[in-house]
């Protein structure tokens, strides 16, 4: 069962992806003056095994992805763990550990070569320090005066990172900027204060979890703009009294989990203008948490019943991640307790952890691009045929009626999928009235010519 529990002031999280930003839930099929709306099918993805840094590493975890698609996480081996980056073009690249800390993890990245995370002396975070890698070179982020421990979870386009610090005293949210580390001291109107900052976007808006001094059992989802004098809460959904804010996109969407005190949670998405909205749970699950969100408001997270169920939310519907990849890949993303979806890039790349061939590995899911198939219906003499009915079947089903120039168009199709296109025209016959097409890019000349 997936549960989020926060006690006292410290939280530890270890278990934890090309769709155009303008996708909507329906698509208009142009038909030479006739338009027919069709429900958009679920998005489809290719899945990539990020793998491990060294042969012999026992597992890997995918923990984050930059807005531009650089994935981060850690590769685990006996007695150590190594942070990594991954890109579709370059594959996995191990990042150096800092001296004296054998267990490192990269949690967040930006598009300019900066990666942040944590290095510790055990897998579970003993003697942890906040770390930054800049173009592969490793160094410790500066701790505020008097603090001896810390971790970093996210970094924005300007290189400002956020996380938490403590020195045996209550943990506090922190900002790391340049040569300075500082505690977030701003509170909400009710006095709630940050204990951990999990995310920061390009405008300097920070999100995380806090404590309410009037009710320490209640989780507080916190939002703070760097430079402002106070913080605000994201609130809670009905039947709950608090939240944890895990992620923020560059357009200001915040995602997380809302719960009663520190019980099981439900995923939400929040904006300052619209407040908190429930994200529908994927089928067969009863609880969950949204962990990452992009600039289009698409979110990912993990729900559960008996197993961990990673999901994608497209602003309207929630889908099981396992249903969005081709059959026969070998990935188990629905029948284990290790799977997760933790971050999504602005181009729709999803990063998380799953099981492949019995091994727990980080994955990156890359959207299958949408394409258009169009053409003309022509007579044997090359003249356009008006009022021909053209239908398409496959992962979508629709019909188009040609106009004066004989054109038909089917947009919003999935590249790499096979479709059958069939034509019927009054007083005309065709040698092949049905033909199959598997477009990898736009097809603009899928013409049918009638027999003499």
Contacts of 13 (CB under 8 A, 6+ apart): none
Q: What are phi and psi of 415, to 5 degrees?
A: -60, 140
> In terms of Cα–Cα distance, which of 50, 19, 42 is closest to 364?
50
* Rounded Cα distance, 424 and 426, in Å: 7
| DSSP β-bridge partners for residue 73 | 62, 84
In a domain, 81, yes or no: yes
Residue 446 to residues 48, 379, 406, Cα–Cα distance (Å)? 32, 15, 12
Q: Per the domain annotation, does 31 fall within a domain?
A: no
389 and 363, same structural domain? Answer: no
139 & 166 share domain: yes
Q: How many domains does the chain have?
A: 2
Summary mean pLDDT of the chain: 91
Which residues form the domain of 409?
370-449
Whether residue 141 is contained in a domain is answered as yes
Boundary residue ending a domain (348, 367, 386): 367
pLDDT of residue 245: 98
- Residues 382, 353, single domain; the answer is no
List phi, psi (to 5°) of 324.
Answer: -105, 0
Tokens representing residue 253 in the block? 């969407």
Say which residues have a Cβ less than 8 Å from residue 390's Cβ, sequence separation at least 6. Answer: 377, 399, 400, 401, 402, 408, 421, 422, 423, 448
Q: What is the pLDDT of residues 427-441, one digit of tens each?
A: 999 999 999 999 988
Give percent of the chain above pLDDT 70.
Answer: 91
Same domain, 76 and 138: yes
Report pLDDT for 325.
94
Regarding whether 378 and 363 lie in a shared domain, the answer is no
Is there a contact between 309 and 303 (Cβ–Cβ < 8 Å)?
yes
Which CATH number is 388's domain given?
2.60.40.10
Q: Identify whether residues 104 and 195 lie together within a single domain.
A: yes
Question: What pLDDT is recorded for position 40?
Answer: 58
Residue 177 within any structural domain of the chain = yes
Does 361 lie in the same domain as 393? no
Residue 210, pLDDT > 80, answer yes
Q: Is 7 inside a domain boundary?
A: no
Would you call 418 exposed, middle or buried from its count of C-beta atoms within 10 A (0-12, 13-18, 19+)?
exposed
Do 434 and 341 share a structural domain? no
Residue 196 in any domain: the answer is yes
Indicate whether 17 belongs to any domain: no
DSSP letter (8 states) at residue 285: -
**Residue 293: CATH number of its domain:** 2.120.10.30
pLDDT digits (tens, 9 = 90+) for 31-87: 443 333 344 568 889 999 999 999 999 999 999 999 999 999 999 999 999 999 999
SS3 for 325?
coil
Backbone dihedral angles phi then psi of residue 284, each to the nearest 5 degrees? 80, 10
The answer as to whether 126 is a domain residue is: yes
Q: Is the pLDDT of residue 93 over 50?
A: yes
Q: Is the pTM of this model over 0.85?
A: no
């Amino acid at each position: 069962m997936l549960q989020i529990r926060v006690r006292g002031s410290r939280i530890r999280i270890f278990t934890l992806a090309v769709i155009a930003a303008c996708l909507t839930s329906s698509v208009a099929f142009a038909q030479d003056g006739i338009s027919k709306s069709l429900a958009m099918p679920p998005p489809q993805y290719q899945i990539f095994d990020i793998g491990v840094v060294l042969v012999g590493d026992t597992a890997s975890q995918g923990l984050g992805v930059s807005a531009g698609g650089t994935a981060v996480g850690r590769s685990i081996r006996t007695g150590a763990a190594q942070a990594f980056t991954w890109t579709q073009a370059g594959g996995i690249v191990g990042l150096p550990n800092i001296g004296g800390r054998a267990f490192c993890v990269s949690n967040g990245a930006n598009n300019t070569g900066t990666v942040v995370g944590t290095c510790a002396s055990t897998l579970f975070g003993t003697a942890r320090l906040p770390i930054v890698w800049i173009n592969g070179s490793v160094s410790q982020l500066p701790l505020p005066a008097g603090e001896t421990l810390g971790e970093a979870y996210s970094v924005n386009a300007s290189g400002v990172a956020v996380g938490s610090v403590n020195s045996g005293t209550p943990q506090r949210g922190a900002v790391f900027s340049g040569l300075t580390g500082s505690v977030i001291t701003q509170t909400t109107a009710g006095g709630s204060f940050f204990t951990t900052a999990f995310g920061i976007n390009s405008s300097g808006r920070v999100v995380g979890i806090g404590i309410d001094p009037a009710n320490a059992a209640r989780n507080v989802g916190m939002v703070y703009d760097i430079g402002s004098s106070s913080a605000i809460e994201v609130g809670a959904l009905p039947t709950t009294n608090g939240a944890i804010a895990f992620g923020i996109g560059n357009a200001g969407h915040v995602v997380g989990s809302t719960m009663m005190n520190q019980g099981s949670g439900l995923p939400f998405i929040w904006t300052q203008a619209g407040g908190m909205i429930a994200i529908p749970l994927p089928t067969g699950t009863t609880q969950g948490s949204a962990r990452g969100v992009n600039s289009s408001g698409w979110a990912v997270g993990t729900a559960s019943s008996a197993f961990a169920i990673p999901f994608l939310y497209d602003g309207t519907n929630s889908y099981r991640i396992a249903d969005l990849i081709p059959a026969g890949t070998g990935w188990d993303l629905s029948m284990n307790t290790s799977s997760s979806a933790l971050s999504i890039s602005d181009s729709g790349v999803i990063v998380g952890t799953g099981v492949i061939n019995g091994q727990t590995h980080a994955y990156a899911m890359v959207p299958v691009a949408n394409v258009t198939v169009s053409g003309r219906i022509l007579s044997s003499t090359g003249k356009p045929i008006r009022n021909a009915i053209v239908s398409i079947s496959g992962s979508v089903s629709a019909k188009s009626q040609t106009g004066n120039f004989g054109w038909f168009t089917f947009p919003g199709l999935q590249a790499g999928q096979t479709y059958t296109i069939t034509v019927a025209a009054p007083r005309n016959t065709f040698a092949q009235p049905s033909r199959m097409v598997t477009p990898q890019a736009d097809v603009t000349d899928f013409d049918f010519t009638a027999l003499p």
